[in-house]
């Protein structure tokens, strides 16, 4: 089955800096890669996703890049703000076929 590795486990940045979280996956058949944000005491919420036919996707201050050859994908947050502080999870699946396999999560702390 799919295995998703996520790094780093914790990340501390100053407000205004950029943050990058990286994930690798094992199953070359995986073609869907979402990112979730989990705020304290809440369930994870989808923030951005990318499919394997696209190399990069942006939504305001967040972007995701995908390297299919190397089987890794990354989340980039620019101009970080304190409200970006949360746990972020990457995941992978085969669209419409397999369930999502999640990474272990990254706790992002943005200091004012």
Partner 1 sequence: NAGVTQTPKFQVLKTGQSMTLQCAQDMNHNSMYWYRQDPGMGLRLIYYSASEGTTDKGEVPNGYNVSRLNKREFSLRLESAAPSQTSVYFCASSTLPGQGANGYTFGSGTRLTVV
With binding defined as CB under 8 A, does residue 23 bind partner 1? no
Are 63 and 56 within 8 A, CB to CB? yes
Identify the residue among 25, 73, 88, 89 touching partner 1 (CB under 8 A): 89
Give the nearer residue to partner 1 in terms of CB position, either 45 or 111: 45
Return all residues near 10 (Cβ < 8 A) that are at least 6 apart: 106, 107, 108, 109
Q: Which of 24, 65, 80, 93 is the binder for partner 1 (CB under 8 A)? A: 93
Q: Which of 53, 56, 93 is nearest to 76 (CA)?
A: 56
Q: Which residues of this protein are in contact with partner 1, per CB under 8 A?
A: 6, 9, 32, 34, 36, 41-46, 49, 89, 93-105
């Amino acid at each position: 089955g799919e295995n998703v590795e996520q790094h780093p486990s914790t990340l501390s940045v100053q407000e205004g800096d950029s943050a990058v979280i990286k994930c690798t996956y094992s199953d070359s058949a995986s073609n869907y890669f979402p990112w979730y944000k989990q705020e304290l005491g809440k369930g994870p919420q989808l923030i951005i996703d990318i499919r394997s036919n696209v190399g990069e996707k942006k939504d305001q201050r967040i972007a995701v890049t995908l390297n299919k050859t190397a089987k890794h994908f990354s989340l980039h947050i620019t101009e970080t703000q304190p409200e970006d502080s949360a746990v972020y999870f990457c995941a992978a699946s085969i669209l419409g076929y397999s369930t999502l396999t999640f990474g272990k999560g990254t706790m992002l702390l943005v200091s004012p």
